[in-house]
Copies of this chain bind each other. A is one copy, B any other.
Amino acid sequence: MMIHTTTLECNTKGNADMLDLTDQVQAIVDDLEMHEGTATIFTPSSTSGLTTIEFESGALEDLRRALERIAPTDAEYLHNLRWGDGNGHSHLRAAMMGPSLSIPVHHGTLMLGTWQQILFVDFDNRPRHRKLIVQIVGDRV
């Protein structure tokens, strides 16, 4: 058993920009030659979140619209009244979606479904350079 902690970097447009991280996380599994293990993906930020989805434009926009109903961009937020940075909705959405995801690796492959991809959403209200953590606990071949 061993543990590996890796950083994955990406640029986002903010404003609920959605990225498919599946290939990048699988590439880390490949590079480490991990055969069996648990991959933890974590976003070290309070204005972004992680989940899985069928990464096709319809489902992505449906999710964007639902989040806009639950935490509208232009509602009044106490966070904005206090800090004036206009991203109160970003904090709210991130807290509700959550920052971590745990995905089993089996025979060297992330055990995702056929129509299931790893989704990173940047809720902040401006473009950001993001660093995510991919940590794998497991065994090599």
Chain A interface SS verdict (over half): mixed
A126 at the interface (CB under 8 A from B): no
The reply to whether the CB of A141 lies closer than 8 angstroms to some CB of chain B is no
Known A-B contacts A70-B70, A78-B58; A53 and B100 likewise in contact (beta carbons under 8 Å): no
Report yes or no: A92 in contact with B63, Cβ–Cβ below 8 A: yes
Q: Give the number of times this chain occurs in the complex, counting copies.
A: 3
Number of A residues near B (Cβ < 8 Å) is 61
Beta-carbon contact of A88 and B113 below 8 Å: no
- Residue A104 is within 8 A (CB to CB) of chain B in the complex: yes
Distance in angstroms between the alpha carbons of A139 and B53 in the assembled complex: 33
- Shortest Cβ distance from A59 into chain B, in angstroms? 4
